[in-house]
């Protein structure tokens, strides 16, 4: 039984293809001009403003931890 499950998992891994999309948002929320094109390749709904907000809040969190 376990061997059959392992074989099925291996077949799924072999037939699955993945692509890597690198999205870089600066510490102050700066983005490239082509960011929207790259974000559109990722399944799901993503708002660029929300991604910028997350980057800025993450930077503020790091600074608070370092400066306190």
- Residue 5 within any structural domain of the chain: no
- Residue 12 within any structural domain of the chain: no
Count up the domains in the chain and report the number.
1
- Residue 40 within any structural domain of the chain: yes
- Residue 56 within any structural domain of the chain: yes
- Residue 48 within any structural domain of the chain: yes
- Please, is 65 exposed, middle or buried when counting C-beta atoms within 10 Å of its C-beta (0-12, 13-18, 19+)? exposed
The position carrying tokens 């709904």 is 45
Taking only the tens place, the pLDDT of each residue in 14-64 is 666 777 777 888 888 888 888 888 888 888 888 889 989 988 999 999 999
- Residue 53 within any structural domain of the chain: yes
pLDDT bin (cut points 50, 70, 90) of residue 67 is very high
pLDDT bin (cut points 50, 70, 90) of residue 3 is low
- Which residues span the domain enclosing 39? 22-68
């Amino acid at each position: 039984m376990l061997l059959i499950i392992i074989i099925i998992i291996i077949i799924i891994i072999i037939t699955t293809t993945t692509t890597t999309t690198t999205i870089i948002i600066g510490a102050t929320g700066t983005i490239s001009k082509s960011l929207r094109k790259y974000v559109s390749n990722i399944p799901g709904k993503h708002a660029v403003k929300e991604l910028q907000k997350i980057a800025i809040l993450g930077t503020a969190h790091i600074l608070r931890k370092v400066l306190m």
